[in-house]
Structure 1
Amino acid sequence: MNLTDVTELGTSHEWRLRRGTLPDGRRVFVKQARQTIDGLFAAEANGLRWLAASGDDAPVPEVISADDTTLVLPWIETGRPTPEVAERFGRELAAVHGAGADSYGAPWPGYIAELPLDNTAGTEWPEWYAERRVLPYVRLAVERGALTARDAAEFERAAARAADAAGPPEPPARIHGDLWSGNVLWSDDRAWLVDPAAHGGHRETDLAMLALFGAPHLETIIAAYDEASPLAGGWRDRVPLHQLHPLLVHVVLFGGSYRDQALSAARRV
């Protein structure tokens, strides 16, 4: 790719990050694979386009180009998170979720970071979540030595309780799927969704992810979301269930430092 004014921004997972300028003058953000992982950038591009299709004002950047090794997005000039932007973000996130999905899962193979994400379609969220989002990462963590067999049994018990713990049934929402605070870019007038693991899922999953590592102005986001699209009673009690998947992903990627936090969530479920 022909870029000028290139600034190296370091690395993340299995890709290097750069800022540059296209020949037409647009400033862009570029993710370039350090090793090719089949379908990884296609999954991210598919997710961004699908989230953007939720509405004309969706807070999702355009995909300028994507192939097996490179993803190019517009450069977003970041600003300071403010309550006003947080309130707008809460309403816009509710609108994205409200666009819905045909089923739980997605019609493309998924990734979360560099880990495969099973997007096989399902119709009942608790069973789908247990089988596609919890148990595969328990097995992978055991294989990598980050969890013991005794630990795995704790997560298996939590997964078996998903139907009882899930609360009232919800239709599939159009969710980001990896919405920790680092995947929300704050500009002067709005917050943008980036780095999705997008799929049809449970809307409380995105809210639980925002809470996991502390999003700015979280209560303002939640209040605006709840006003736009009221949450079912008891949703705060279900946060540990929805955090099981991201915590297990962290155990797989980063080792046992997240083990205790993940086990605590499993026991609360």
Structure 2
Amino acid sequence: MRGRLERLLGTGVDALADLGSSHAWTLHRASLADGREVFVKAASDQAGVFAAEAAGLRWLAEAGPGTPVPEVIAADDRLLVLPWLRSASPAPSTAERLGRELAVLHTSARPATYGAPWEGYIADLPLDNTSGDDDWPRWYAERRLEPFLRLGARHLSSADVRLVERVMADVQALAGPPEPPSRIHGDLWSGNVLWTGDRALLIDPAAHGGHRETDLAMLALFGTPHLDRVLAAYDEAAPLADGWRDRIPLHQLHPLLVHVALFGGSYRASLVDAARSTLGSG
């Protein structure tokens, strides 16, 4: 890997530290001969995943200056190279800045359609980014819920499957007021928020044109530090439609289905609760 990294970056690698693994790739910290430190993902057969992540980060950055994503230094079919970012403890002021910057990301340089012009992935599972028109509820049901319900069905009862299918059938009534597409991170659970000094940066995206409430719902799914500050700052900068809190479970159904597909029945109860809450809010 060292030789490939040197050829990709055009400089020597003085030190390479292993940081473990995630899904099908390994993680590394490299000290370069030109004085830089970088973070490296490496794999032998994850070309699509790395291409999607690099494309997503670059596309999110196109929203404008101050977009809270790291630079993509380099990428090929076996390596993804980002700056090495020093982590810091989350602070209320940093959370408020994240809320404001996330609002700008969602409301600036909006894409024309839902989806994205590249093949998507979430973790190492394919994600259908086929572009759709301005009907987000139908796009969400067809491109996000149905494929992962099929993948995870072996871990669910027939009653569980029917419950999610009810959400899909009623999604037009459950989705709230129409929203134009936003550039969203798409996998914004707390582990993909990297707190660095006075700023938080978003990593490991499943980026696409989507509904902005999706990112906020994912921040709430597994707990994010100072989430109340993030949401208050966001809502002040880009006010959300009435009832958005009631729609959080609807937006959480996709990541929960992904977790059922990846990790099995341990996420079944959370999925069922979210589906029931979604139907109860309609």
The one-character-per-residue Cα deviations of 1:19-67 (angstroms, maximum 9, x if unpaired) are 111222111000011x413411000000000011111111111101111
The one-character-per-residue Cα deviations of 1:176-203 (angstroms, maximum 9, x if unpaired) are 0000000000011100010000000000
The equivalent position to 1:17 in structure 2, one of 27, 51, 59, is 27
Whole-angstrom CA distance in 2 between matches of 1:263 and 1:94: 30
Which amino acid in structure 2 is aligned with residue 25 of structure 1?
G
Whole-angstrom CA distance in 1 between matches of 2:46 and 2:226: 35
Whole-angstrom CA distance in 2 between matches of 1:90 and 1:172: 18
Q: Which runs of 5+ in 2 are unaligned?
A: 7-12
Which amino acid in structure 1 is aligned with residue 35 of structure 2?
G
2:148 aligned with 1:137: yes
CA RMSD of aligned residues (A): 0.9
- Corresponding residue of 1:154: 163
Whole-angstrom CA distance in 2 between matches of 1:46 and 1:207: 22
Q: How far 1:162 sits from its partner (Å)? A: 1.2
Partner secondary structure for residue 39 of structure 1: helix
Which amino acid in structure 1 is aligned with residue 104 of structure 2?
A
Whole-angstrom CA distance in 1 between matches of 2:255 and 2:139: 15
Whole-angstrom CA distance in 2 between matches of 1:147 and 1:4: 49
2:265 aligned with 1:256: yes
Provide TM-score, normalisation by structure 2: 0.92
2:61 aligned with 1:48: no
- Corresponding residue of 2:10: none
- Corresponding residue of 1:265: 274
2:14 aligned with 1:8: no
Runs of 4+ in 1 over 2 A off after TM superposition: 2-5
Paired residues in the alignment total 266
Alignment of 1:96-175 (within 5 A): 96-99=105-108, 100-123=110-133, 124-142=135-153, 145-175=154-184
Provide TM-score, normalisation by structure 1: 0.97
- Corresponding residue of 1:184: 193
Partner secondary structure for residue 155 of structure 2: coil
The one-character-per-residue Cα deviations of 1:49-104 (angstroms, maximum 9, x if unpaired) are 00111111111111011111110000010101000100111000001111211100
- Corresponding residue of 1:206: 215
More displaced 10-residue stretch of structure 1: 195-204 or 61-70: 61-70
Q: Which runs of 5+ in 1 are unaligned?
A: none
Whole-angstrom CA distance in 2 between matches of 1:16 and 1:154: 37
The equivalent position to 1:230 in structure 2, one of 217, 223, 239, is 239
